[in-house]
Structure 1
Amino acid sequence: MLSINSAALQSWVVLLLWPMTRILAMMAVAPILNHRALTARVKISLALLITIVVIPTLPPPPPLDIFSWQGLLILIQQTLIGFAIGFSMRIVFAAVELTGQVIGMTMGLGFAMFYDPQTQGQTNALGQFLVLLASLIFLSLDGHLIMISAVVESFATFPLSTEWQGGLDFMKMAGWGGKIFSAGLMMALPAVAALLITNMALGILTRAAPQLNLFGIGFPVTIFMGFIITALVLPGLLQPMLQLIQENIANMYF
């Protein structure tokens, strides 16, 4: 006869809760998987399904009380590891969005800002377009499956333990954050340089013909040239996006 006591029940809860916490933390930060179109019920169900598949491959968890300080420490560790895996890929989309923001501000779309419910911040149409393009590239590379594979393989690198995981290098993560600005500005630089030449030409034209209304013709010309330059630069952005995605996929495996 099967008998269930409090110790057995707690071991089952611990075996399910700690791995699921790491997976949910990754999904809360990672692109695509944290999209607001996916309801909380869908995310929790997906995390539960992955956890059930992963549990047979995990070693037995340490016999600790889930409400003890050691249990709380393990819970915090799982959250940090999941956040680190998701954040490493979130950098790509933040850099791409920064590229769109810089180009859009330079071409005169600074007044055409709108609220993005996904990032819960202000963005422009060009930045949102580049983020959608990066999402399509990411899905074509099976990036969502790679993220799930990375969080599953992380249980071998960072097992469930009360010992602090020394492989978590927070300075390295801070360096990843700095890459948002460097990569974003480098991808925006060709379009910004071309738009700067356009603005210089408009300035020379205004000096040569002062009777022209700069505000009347400047904004339409800058926006029109901005769209043309973006269309010409867009094929060249594909390779930097692919390289950035591949670099951050490697970072997910620490």
Structure 2
Amino acid sequence: MIEVTTAQIYGWIAAFLWPMFRLMALISVAPVFSESSIPRRLKILLAAALAVIISPTIGKIPTAPVYSLEGLLVVLNEVGIGLSMGFAMRLVFAAVQMAGEVIGLQMGLSFASFYDRSSGGQTMVLSRFLNVVATLLFLALDGHLMMLAALVDSFQGVPIAGVPLSGHGWGALARAGSIVFASGTLLALPMIAALLTMNLAMGILNRASPQLSIFAVGFPVTLLGGMLVLSLVMPHMGAYMQHLIEAGLQTAATVLDQLAP
């Protein structure tokens, strides 16, 4: 007769449950996976399927009951690790969206906005367009697969344990937030320079010919000029977006290294 002890049951549950917490946290905030258009049941099913595949490759797993204090600490650690990795990659797309906001504001497209379900608020059309381009590039570069591979490797670098994570990792994640402002501004800098030059030229023209109504022609000229410059700059944005995605993956790896207790 086969006998199953309580310790064995706890071990089987822990081997599946602890990795699933880390996977669910990543999927809930990571680019592509966290899109609101993906049903929640499908996200849970994906996390469960990945947990079943990954669990045999993980080494020693604590068998603490889920309802114990140690089990609660393990859950918090796993959720924190998954959220930190997903948030590190989310910063890259936040930088791209900021660049779209700045470019749209300079072009006079600040009124062209709509409700974006992924961000939960009003988003400029140009910002959404650049976000879609970044998402397609992310998929073309297999960024989603590299992100999942980094998560699988994280079980070796930051093993499942009931030990508090190091605070240096959260500091590294906070410092990585500067990528939103620095990289977003650099991405929009060519458009800012071109549109600023255009506005200066129209200002000089208005001073030279006061009878010309600059307010009547300024908006269409700025809009058409901005679209022309954007069509010239777009082929070169892909290389910089690729650099941002690679930097985001490197940031996630750095945060994981510093989270290790």
TM-score under structure 1 normalisation?
A: 0.95
Aligned ranges for residues 79-228 of structure 1 at < 5 Å? Answer: 79-166=79-166, 169-228=169-228
The letter of the residue matching 1:39 is P
Per the TM alignment, residue 210 of structure 1 is displaced from its structure 2 partner at its CA by 2.0
Partner of 2:248: 248
Decide which moves more: 205-214 or 178-187: 205-214
Q: Which runs of 5 or more residues in structure 1 are unaligned?
A: none
Q: Is the 8 A contact 2:99 2:187 kept in 1?
A: yes
Aligned residues: CA RMSD: 1.5
Per the TM alignment, residue 165 of structure 1 is displaced from its structure 2 partner at its CA by 3.0
Q: Is the 8 A contact 1:206 1:212 kept in 2?
A: yes
Identity %: 41
> Would you say how many aligned residue pairs link Structure 1 and Structure 2?
254
Q: Is the 8 A contact 1:96 1:134 kept in 2?
A: yes
Partner of 2:257: none
Per the TM alignment, residue 86 of structure 1 is displaced from its structure 2 partner at its CA by 0.8
Per the TM alignment, residue 142 of structure 1 is displaced from its structure 2 partner at its CA by 0.6
Deviations 1:45-102 (A, max 9, x none): 1111110011111124223221111111110000110011111111111111111110
Q: Matched residue of 2:240: which SS?
A: helix
Per the TM alignment, residue 9 of structure 1 is displaced from its structure 2 partner at its CA by 3.0
Per the TM alignment, residue 226 of structure 1 is displaced from its structure 2 partner at its CA by 0.8
The letter of the residue matching 2:147 is M
Q: Is the 8 A contact 1:93 1:131 kept in 2?
A: yes
Q: Is the 8 A contact 1:108 1:223 kept in 2?
A: yes
Per the TM alignment, residue 10 of structure 1 is displaced from its structure 2 partner at its CA by 3.1
TM-score under structure 2 normalisation?
A: 0.92
Q: Distance in 2 between matches of 1:168 and 1:114?
A: 39
Q: Distance in 2 between matches of 1:131 and 1:117?
A: 13
Partner of 1:12: 12
The letter of the residue matching 1:103 is I
Q: Is the 8 A contact 1:81 1:168 kept in 2?
A: no
Q: Distance in 2 between matches of 1:224 and 1:123?
A: 21
Q: Which runs of 5 or more residues in structure 2 are unaligned?
A: 255-261
Q: Is the 8 A contact 2:195 2:226 kept in 1?
A: yes
The letter of the residue matching 2:172 is K
Partner of 1:52: 52
Q: Matched residue of 2:177: which SS?
A: helix
The letter of the residue matching 2:41 is R
Q: Distance in 1 between matches of 2:230 and 2:20?
A: 42
The letter of the residue matching 1:70 is E
